[in-house]
Amino acid sequence: MPTRREVLAWGAAAAAVPALAGCGEEVGAARMTRATERRPGQKITLTFWTWVPLQKAVALWNRQNPDVRVDVQTVPANTSGGYQKMHSSLTAGDPPDLAQVEYYALPEFMLVNGLTDLSEYGADELRDAYVDWQWQQGVFAGRTYAIPQASGPMGLFYRRDLFDRWDIDVPATWDEYRAAAMKIKKRSGGSVISAFPPANAQWFAAFPWQRGAHWVSTEGDAWVVDLAGPESLEVADFWDGMLSDGLVAPVQDSQSAFFKGLQTGGLATWPGAQWYDALIRGNAPRTEGRWRVAELPQWERGAHASSNWGGSATAILQGSRHPVEALEFAHWLNTDPAAIDLLIEAGYGWPAAKIELAESALGRPDPFFGGQRYNEVFQLSDRNVDTSWRFAPTTTQSYAHVQDAFGRVIAGHGSLTDALKDAEGKFVDDLKAKGLKARSAR
């Protein structure tokens, strides 16, 4: 088992740095994983906590594996309660066997020794089946702690019919995106080019990520926080201008006003992750055939820079009594072709498994997107994600500072650039509160 010092140093799965000194954070798992050998013919049930609608895939597993049944239990998505419940179960010593954990949250679980070392059960032999950068999200100090499931390469969803009506070209750069927004404001009679969700720091972070920023990194034995670097401030200044000129609507994504905008044409585009296709399809069904997908607009003309929003792993929490069977299920869920097709149908995101796009459900022309093979755009996006972006073990609480600061901007207090500068200091404080060495980049 890795030392506490190593755990505290892991800022990202791909870069384990032997860094940091002691910490006051208590280990959160009340019991350790221990494999219990099954008797011949013995039936067991694995409990799986997730917010992803993967019941059909699990039902297929249960039909094929009657002796190792998986019981799916729905928990709230990400920060709205699901992780708190997981951490409480670790502390109480009654965790589920498996849990959906987003990539950004894996370091937080490692900080409290909340994940099972899967290398001990042969997980490293499975890595060639997965996209390397996604596999690396669950690797800490050379040991594997989670099986990757899916990511969220970014693209631009846009209403082809509205762009044609208003005589607007698909923007290739962010300058062109702003110019298109101005035309939409003048020609549409009330529509805007997009929403700006103030309470979604993950969405916003995708744009500094695309620009080449790194909000966190490690230097020696310290964390370096850089929310207010030149790349991030350039992005913030862009969205400041879009907000102040009334070119975007300050409404939260995945809520009723947002989906109404998609349905009615009040929102003409959405710069979003691949997995948003299912949300658009499900919440704006009358717009079938009118949507298309393009690459994200670029900060530099001719580039193909992209980024990622979201993505999660199937983790085996510390304390499972059936880690061997849980690992077998997690690998099947995320690599079996039939399971992947069922997960695609459920809108789970861009697969972590290496697949042939043309041979999967993702490669088909889609009537909702006017017959476009739109996932070819996301395939290109996925290949151009800067995989050196890192997550800190305080991402959940630190991103909340960004969202609070953005909320004050929307209420008329300050700018997004000011908000990032303010949040940077609080991000540093969060890391120090965990007993970690941290400083601002400035």
- Full 3-state SS string of 174-240: HHHHHHHHHHHHHHCCCCECEECCCCCHHHHHHHHHHHCCCCEEEECCEEEECCCCHHHHHHHHHHH
Q: pTM of the predicted model, to two decimals?
A: 0.90
Domain boundary at 341, 374, 407, which? 374
Q: In terms of Cα–Cα distance, which of 5, 417, 429 is closest to 230?
A: 417
Q: Assess whether 162 and 302 both reside in one domain.
A: yes
What per-residue string of b and e applies to 89-125 under the rule 16 or more CB within 10 Å gives b? bbbeeebbbbbbbbbbbbbbbbbbbbbbbbebbebee
Q: 191: which residues sit within 8 A by CB, 6+ positions away? A: 162, 184, 185, 265, 266, 267, 268
Instruction: Report the DSSP beta bridge partners of residue 173.
Output: 298
CATH of the domain at 355: 3.40.190.10
Give domain status of residue 381, yes or no. no
- In order along its 442 residues, the chain shows pLDDT tens digits of 444 444 444 443 333 333 322 333 445 788 999 998 888 889 999 999 999 999 999 999 999 999 999 999 999 886 557 899 999 999 999 999 999 999 999 999 999 999 999 999 999 999 999 999 999 999 998 999 999 999 999 999 999 999 999 999 999 999 999 999 999 999 999 999 999 999 999 999 999 999 999 999 999 889 999 999 999 999 999 999 999 999 999 999 989 999 999 999 999 999 999 999 999 999 999 999 999 999 999 999 999 999 999 999 999 999 999 999 999 999 999 999 999 999 998 888 899 999 999 888 899 999 999 999 999 999 999 999 999 999 999 999 999 999 999 999 999 999 999 999 999 999 999 999 999 999 999 8
Residue 39 is part of which domain span? 4-23+32-151+309-374
Instruction: Map tokens 């088909």 to a residue.
Output: 364
Give domain status of residue 40, yes or no. yes
Q: Is the dihedral of CA 59, 138, 80, 209 positive or negative?
A: negative
Look up residue 17 and give its two tokens. 């740095």
Give domain status of residue 382, yes or no. no
User: Rounded to a whole number, what is the distance in angstroms from the first to the last CA of the chain?
Assistant: 36
Instruction: Map tokens 């069904």 to a residue.
Output: 285
Give domain status of residue 384, yes or no. no
Q: Per the structure, how many domains does the chain have? A: 2
Longest dimension (CA), the chain: 72
